[in-house]
Structure 1
Amino acid sequence: MGKKHSLLKTVLAATAALYATNTAIDYHAKDKNLCSTAKGDFYDFKYGRIYYTRQGQGAPLLLLHNLDTISSGYEWSKILKKLEKDHTVYTLDLLGCGRSDKPSLTYTNFLYVQLLTSFIQDVIGEKTNVITSADASSIAIMANQMNPDLFDQIILINPSDIHQMKMETNRLQMTIKNILFAPLVGTALYNFYVSEDHIRSIFDKKYLSRPLQDNKKFTDLYYQSAHIHKSNGRFLYASKKCSYTNVDVTRAITDKDNLHIIESTDRKKAISIAEEYVKKNHAIDVTYISNSKLLPMLEVPDQCLKIIQNYLA
């Protein structure tokens, strides 16, 4: 009886400590006060409110940030001003990211296809150019397949590996997703992924080939963005980690003539990834960009902008 009582006390103490730690992290993230909604608006999508901005004049251009729970529309901030000289530019925080709602549900590629389609129909209201970043590439590719009349040119910046996107969810991943959805343990694991140290590591190893002059500003933005709506970003994190956002895009790219790729040469497997797309469709044009990894729009914005403008001309 004494051992059981002692074990219970230990479990309760550990639970209380975990709860206190998670709560403290949420308060710390709010202190940065960097993610403002003052310059934008909200679109009422059927699964939650979507934060977006609209700037400039001209042919519509929609920018989709990397599909990562730490990402947001801030990803485009270094090229936005120049793009809006010739376009009506829309940025949005995808569901589960940034200033948008982060509902408790399983996030799938089709959910985001619905979001993209609805946003273009309800907010933009006409055929649209789209630029995507990294893992958001499959959203635009599949939406273009299902609703081609909504899209003009689609530019994929460092799109996902076609073979990786084919990977399906297995039973182990289903179990992991359930753990990550759990309030205490899932929140703790999520908070490790979106900790300041880990976000800095993501920037150093994956996002950039070298630190930005304003590196701290962006890592702080990504940190706070990941913690808006407390730990609810874990639902997208779990869904993506366990392959629920994956989709086979092979058929969706084979007969399209409006797809273009910007590929960073410092990115791992960059050339082979781009070549796989071209093998499936020789009409896809690829431009390689140097001195950058996953986010050339932040790292080499002028080079990135020049390529974008050539594709949209």
Structure 2
Amino acid sequence: MRLRRLLAGAVGTVAAADLLDRGLRAKAGELSPALAGAQDTYRWRGFDVAYTEAGDPDRPDVVCLHGVHAAASSREFAGVFDALAEDYHVIAPDLPGFGRTDRPPVAYTSSLYEEFVADFVSDVADDPVVVGSSLSGAWAAIAAKEADVSGLLLVCPTADTGPRRPWLRALLRSPVLGAAAFDALTAKPSLQYFDERDAFYYPERVPEGLVDYQWQTAHQEGARFAPASFVGGYLDADVDLGAELRERDCPATLVWGREATISTLAAGRDVAEDADTRLVVVDETRLLPHAEQPAVFLDAVREDLPRLEDH
């Protein structure tokens, strides 16, 4: 009798967790575009990849690749997108598995994103400057080996988030328990805690509406699959980032928040030294200097963007 009650309780708990997850996804509704501009779709290996473009198509191209976390999207570039579009043709995709792009339960890996970046840059842009944030910086550096890129502008780039954690990836991918764990990870208090602890130096600089959008994007169908690979360490590029950048023909600049904690300035100095490349440090910012101090960021990297007089 006791075993029967325990089994009944377990079944009830699983059913409740599944019902809660379905309710949260219904509440989130359809995700609106993260950025203002023309909305388009790039078909790639079965994915419908959503991207936004703005600015004069005859101007030099700038491709913005967002970083990776549980609620990532091209919304990361909201602070600089319009300003860049005044002078350039700016293109910002939601990476496979994130934002308004398809999120099937495939095996997300670093090589998948490396190949996506190379194909997207080649097919959608024309010899662009690529702005890559966090892991996207490493993927952009690798993609530039094959794709035509006029420059790399990498914000707190990293190729290593730690050892592989297959059990954690398996947990988050599991049907009911994984969904419940991801719902807890992406609750609004959890998202706000991450933004205020790691992404931004000053909590009051977290853009209005950002947490709400992060919550909504993290509660779309299939939202946990790509982040499961991220927390499991499967999105780390198998390269020495400094050596990889040193081998590229195009110029590269690194931008670091002085107070960054996830990928520290000390690590940034090491990469810059190994790559023999320029390092720009933005004071009073952490992981997202382009989001926390967009005007300061743009002033600091202006010389790394295409010269309009050359076009």
Q: TM-score, normalised by structure 1?
A: 0.89
> Matched residues in 1 for 2:273 and 2:123: separation?
35
State the AA in 2 paired with 1:12: V
> Matched residues in 2 for 1:23 and 1:121: separation?
38
Could you give the per-residue CA deviations for residues 136-191 of structure 1, whole angstroms, max 9, x where no partner exists? 1111011113x1x511110011112x5x35x552xxx2233222111100101111
- Given that 1:69 and 1:96 are in contact with CA atoms closer than 8 Å, whether structure 2 keeps it comes out as no
Could you give the per-residue CA deviations for residues 212-265 of structure 1, whole angstroms, max 9, x where no partner exists? 467441111111112222xx1211111011111012332422323521101110
- Given that 2:71 and 2:217 are in contact with CA atoms closer than 8 Å, whether structure 1 keeps it comes out as yes
| SS of residue matched to 1:40 | strand
Residue 130 of structure 2: aligned partner: 130
| SS of residue matched to 2:92 | strand
> Matched residues in 1 for 2:98 and 2:281: separation?
28
- Given that 1:109 and 1:138 are in contact with CA atoms closer than 8 Å, whether structure 2 keeps it comes out as no
Aligned match for 1:287, one of 261, 280, 288:
280
1:73 equivalent to 2:74? Answer yes
> Matched residues in 2 for 1:4 and 1:263: separation?
56
Residue 141 of structure 2: aligned partner: 141
1:277 equivalent to 2:267? Answer no
CA distance 1:36–1:279, change in 2 (3 Å):
closer
CA shift for structure 1 position 3: 2.5
CA distance 1:196–1:107, change in 2 (3 Å):
same
| SS of residue matched to 1:245 | coil
- Given that 2:60 and 2:88 are in contact with CA atoms closer than 8 Å, whether structure 1 keeps it comes out as yes
CA shift for structure 1 position 10: 1.1
Instruction: Give % identity.
Output: 20
> Matched residues in 2 for 1:276 and 1:211: separation?
28
CA shift for structure 1 position 60: 0.8
State the AA in 2 paired with 1:196: K
Residue 232 of structure 2: aligned partner: 242
| SS of residue matched to 1:97 | coil
State the AA in 2 paired with 1:48: F
CA shift for structure 1 position 266: 1.4
- Given that 1:168 and 1:244 are in contact with CA atoms closer than 8 Å, whether structure 2 keeps it comes out as no
- Given that 2:205 and 2:292 are in contact with CA atoms closer than 8 Å, whether structure 1 keeps it comes out as no
- Given that 1:227 and 1:233 are in contact with CA atoms closer than 8 Å, whether structure 2 keeps it comes out as yes
State the AA in 1 paired with 2:77: W
CA shift for structure 1 position 65: 0.6
> Matched residues in 1 for 2:167 and 2:195: separation?
29
CA distance 1:168–1:204, change in 2 (3 Å):
closer
| SS of residue matched to 2:12 | helix
Residue 197 of structure 1: aligned partner: 189
> Matched residues in 1 for 2:223 and 2:18: separation?
17
| SS of residue matched to 2:203 | coil
| SS of residue matched to 2:198 | helix
CA distance 1:121–1:215, change in 2 (3 Å):
closer
1:227 equivalent to 2:181? Answer no
State the AA in 2 paired with 1:22: D
> Matched residues in 1 for 2:205 and 2:140: separation?
31
Alignment of 1:110-121 (within 5 A): 110-121=111-122
- Given that 1:34 and 1:224 are in contact with CA atoms closer than 8 Å, whether structure 2 keeps it comes out as no
> Matched residues in 2 for 1:216 and 1:46: separation?
35
- Given that 2:118 and 2:144 are in contact with CA atoms closer than 8 Å, whether structure 1 keeps it comes out as no
| SS of residue matched to 2:72 | coil
1:302 equivalent to 2:295? Answer yes
- Please, what is the CA RMSD of the aligned residues? 2.0
- Given that 2:135 and 2:236 are in contact with CA atoms closer than 8 Å, whether structure 1 keeps it comes out as no
> Matched residues in 2 for 1:202 and 1:35: separation?
23
CA distance 1:271–1:214, change in 2 (3 Å):
closer
> Matched residues in 2 for 1:159 and 1:17: separation?
40
Higher helix share: 1
1:184 equivalent to 2:176? Answer yes
| SS of residue matched to 1:227 | coil
CA distance 1:110–1:299, change in 2 (3 Å):
same
CA distance 1:237–1:81, change in 2 (3 Å):
same
| SS of residue matched to 1:156 | strand
CA shift for structure 1 position 132: 1.0
- Given that 2:66 and 2:136 are in contact with CA atoms closer than 8 Å, whether structure 1 keeps it comes out as yes
> Matched residues in 2 for 1:265 and 1:221: separation?
27
CA shift for structure 1 position 78: 1.4
Q: TM-score, normalised by structure 2?
A: 0.90
Question: How many residues end up aligned between the 2 structures?
Answer: 299
CA shift for structure 1 position 35: 4.3
Where does structure 2 lack aligned partners over 5 or more consecutive residues? Answer: none
